Chains A and B, each alone.
Chain A
Amino acid sequence: MGSVTDFVIQQLINGISLGSIYALIALGYTMVYGIIQLINFAHGDIMMVGAYTGWFCTTVLKLAFLPSLMIAMVLSATLGMIIERIAYKPLRKASRLAALITAIGMSFFLEYGGILVLTPQTRTFPAVFPQTVYNPIGEITFKYGDIVIILTTVILMSLLQFTVKYTRVGKAMRAVSFDKEAASLMGINVNNTISVTFAIGSSLAAAAGVLIGVYFNTINPLMGIMPGLKAFVAAVLGGIGIIPGAMLGGLAMGLIESFVSGIGFSTWRDAAAFFILIIVLIVKPTGLLGKNIREKV
């Protein structure tokens, strides 16, 4: 019996630290979707750029973890804003599919541009943290990295919640996502607000990228594809456009994956995540926290 509880607690720890990373990426997807209804497929690749910036800071500039994280977040925020201005802003009035295809194009551009510039080889992250493994009770273990991931995520999410709820920028973001035209009539600068949303989302993705690099030790230019897709699934699972939904969805995805891997079906873990997504969508078509809006004629 004890081993079953140990197993459950162990997988909970693994799932929460993996889920935190997914949640951080999913927040960017959901915020961008909430404000301009665009699935920003390039988001996972912004995470990759963040991871490479972190790698550059820690190996070449020999910086510590926190400054590297900050630099990666600031650079990716800038990149996110530039991408929005160049590629998505001209398409704000065009069909949503055109914007979606542009996002796919942007994602290809970052991935293969990344391969051209950074070469396809896998880079190894230096050991930023002590590789201590804690073993509090029974067979349960967790690494120093787990604590860092969970702490970073909690701090960033609290900051985000505070920003969105209580600051002027946050109020503007909520107003723009509610009704763009009414917001602009109230004197809100819609373009700047959208830029800020991209900046915040991209910086969270960069944080996730650095955490992935620190935790799994290796990074490559195509590393953004699968985590990006899973984070997007997490955002949809929670209800896309809803910030708490992204957090919930991210954690759910992480837990599903670690439990499925834990019971010995690691090759099926992606399939399990998608399967649960589809079941949730069939039962509740707008995600776990989504509201069902009736379409009026």
Chain B
Amino acid sequence: MSNMKMSKLEIFNRKNVIMLFLLLLVYGIVQLLFQNQILNKFYMMTFILVCIYIILAVSQNLITGFTGQLAIGHAGFMAIGAYMSALVTVKLDGSLIAGLIFGSIVAAFAGILIGIPTLRLKGDYLAIATLGLGEIVRIIFLNTDYLGGATGFQVPKVINWTWAFWLMVISVVVIKNFINSSHGRACIAVRENEIAAEAMGINTTKYKVMAFAIGALFAGLAGAIYANYMYVILPGTFSFLKSFEILVMVVLGGLGSITGCIIGAGLMTLVSAFLANYPEMRMVIIAVLLILLMIYRPNGLLGNKEFKFDFLNPKKKGEENGTA
């Protein structure tokens, strides 16, 4: 028994080593293809956008899928991260890391500030309040001439595949570990039944705000990566339609499934990239796919199940089921 526990606590257990190896493989292959000019800039942008959207989808999933709070203001936090990181890197001549950290932290603070009053609201009322806050954030940046206003804010491109990929990996690992911690379990309890969770001694407001702040932190990070990659950021990019897009990725992949929303984000980004030459047709196709998918698989592609590498070591299966 103690042996088993030890093996679970080790960082370099078999599962993690395999995972790390796979990640290195994906990273290396894309890096090699790009260096040898097999993939052009368009593909590079698509891959980096996939990384950005994975961070956004996973953090939205923490709020909506795991804590059960339907908040549609992710684009607002993304905007805060984008503009604040650009403020550091462009206006204050700070380093990229300082920009990324500052953008994420300001977004997290905004999440706490917004979360404390609004998370008392339930269901659709929370949805519209957060949507409204996201729009307010956009309008504030639209009217701030110091940060470019409506004409956009020029930011030099410093993010490359290495930055985007490993920041994405770090974000996913942190959120996954949060969900598997006791705090994350408390969040899931809030999702399942708020009153029951409160009766069991869980401070529901605290955990809702915590999930909201962490979600906002990573949305801010994604925004910061976006800002330092895209050359120019426009307030119009961060409208509520962007929040819808992120929510769609999460529901498409499966609420409450990290691997599900990674697949959802990847799929949506790739489909829209490959149909980029037919912008209107692309949206019509996406809309039809969305409606059909929701009618035939209302719980998303993976539901709330996780895609696991269990087939790699079948012996452990019983044990996994016992602890999952």
Interface residues of A (CB under 8 A from B): 33, 39, 87, 90-91, 94-99, 101-102, 104-109, 111-113, 115-116, 120, 225, 229, 232-233, 236, 240, 267-268, 270-271, 274-275, 277-278, 281-282, 285-287, 295, 297
Q: Which interface residue of A108, A270, A286 has the most chain B CB atoms within 10 A? A: A108
Structural contact, B295 and A285, CB atoms closer than 8 A:
no
9 nearest A-B residue pairs (beta carbon):
A274-B132, A105-B290, A94-B298, A112-B283, A109-B287, A98-B298, A108-B287, A271-B139, A105-B291
Residue B169 lies at the interface, judged by CB distance under 8 Å to chain A: no
Beyond A104-B290, A109-B287, A109-B291, whether A271 also contacts B136 by CB under 8 A is yes
A–B pairs, 14, beta carbons within 8 Å = A91-B295, A91-B298, A95-B299, A97-B251, A98-B299, A101-B294, A111-B283, A268-B143, A278-B117, A281-B129, A282-B121, A285-B120, A285-B125, A286-B125
- Rounded to whole angstroms, the CA-CA distance of A99 and B125 in the bound complex is 16
Beyond A233-B128, A285-B120, whether A271 also contacts B140 by CB under 8 A is yes
Beyond A106-B291, A281-B125, A286-B125, whether A270 also contacts B135 by CB under 8 A is yes
- Rounded to whole angstroms, the CA-CA distance of A107 and B244 in the bound complex is 11
- Mask: chain B, 293-324; 1 = CB below 8 Å from A; 0 = not: 01100110000000000000000000000000
Residues of B within 8 A of A233 (CB): 128, 132
4 further interface pairs, Cβ-Cβ under 8 Å (given A105-B290, A106-B287)? A101-B290, A116-B280, A271-B136, A295-B195
Structural contact, B294 and A116, CB atoms closer than 8 A:
no
Interface residues of B (CB under 8 A from A): 64, 70, 117-118, 120-125, 127-129, 131-133, 135-136, 139-140, 142-143, 195-196, 240-241, 244, 247-248, 251-252, 255, 280-284, 286-288, 290-291, 294-295, 298-299
- Rounded to whole angstroms, the CA-CA distance of A96 and B64 in the bound complex is 13
Structural contact, A109 and B136, CB atoms closer than 8 A:
no
Number of A-B residue pairs, CB cutoff 8 Å, is 125
- Rounded to whole angstroms, the CA-CA distance of A240 and B126 in the bound complex is 13
- Rounded to whole angstroms, the CA-CA distance of A98 and B118 in the bound complex is 23
Structural contact, B136 and A101, CB atoms closer than 8 A:
no
Can you name the residue of chain B whose Cβ is closest to the Cβ of A108? B287
- Rounded to whole angstroms, the CA-CA distance of A61 and B88 in the bound complex is 59
Structural contact, A270 and B139, CB atoms closer than 8 A:
yes
Within the complex, which residue of A104, A113, A268, A285 is in contact with B139, where a contact is CB–CB below 8 Å? Answer: A268
- Rounded to whole angstroms, the CA-CA distance of A38 and B287 in the bound complex is 18
Within the complex, which residue of B117, B247, B280, B295 is in contact with A102, where a contact is CB–CB below 8 Å? Answer: B295
Residues of B within 8 A of A274 (CB): 132-133, 135-136
Residues of A within 8 A of B195 (CB): 295, 297
Structural contact, A267 and B143, CB atoms closer than 8 A:
yes
Structural contact, B286 and A108, CB atoms closer than 8 A:
yes
Structural contact, A267 and B118, CB atoms closer than 8 A:
no
Can you name the residue of chain A whose Cβ is closest to the Cβ of B282? A112
Nearest CB of chain A from residue B260's CB, rounded to whole Å = 14
Within the complex, which residue of A106, A113, A229, A278 is in contact with B129, where a contact is CB–CB below 8 Å? Answer: A278
- Rounded to whole angstroms, the CA-CA distance of A273 and B247 in the bound complex is 24
Nearest CB of chain A from residue B323's CB, rounded to whole Å = 27
Nearest CB of chain B from residue A49's CB, rounded to whole Å = 15
Can you name the residue of chain A whose Cβ is closest to the Cβ of B300? A98
Residues of B within 8 A of A268 (CB): 139, 143
Structural contact, A109 and B288, CB atoms closer than 8 A:
yes
Residues of B within 8 A of A106 (CB): 287, 291
Structural contact, A281 and B121, CB atoms closer than 8 A:
yes
Nearest CB of chain B from residue A134's CB, rounded to whole Å = 34
- Rounded to whole angstroms, the CA-CA distance of A202 and B241 in the bound complex is 22
Structural contact, B143 and A282, CB atoms closer than 8 A:
no
- Rounded to whole angstroms, the CA-CA distance of A97 and B284 in the bound complex is 21
Nearest CB of chain B from residue A11's CB, rounded to whole Å = 21
Residues of A within 8 A of B64 (CB): 97
Can you name the residue of chain B whose Cβ is closest to the Cβ of A286? B125
- Rounded to whole angstroms, the CA-CA distance of A295 and B15 in the bound complex is 44
Structural contact, B284 and A116, CB atoms closer than 8 A:
yes
Nearest CB of chain B from residue A290's CB, rounded to whole Å = 9
Beyond A229-B240, A268-B139, whether A285 also contacts B122 by CB under 8 A is yes
Residues of A within 8 A of B121 (CB): 281-282, 285
Structural contact, A282 and B251, CB atoms closer than 8 A:
no
Residues of A within 8 A of B143 (CB): 267-268
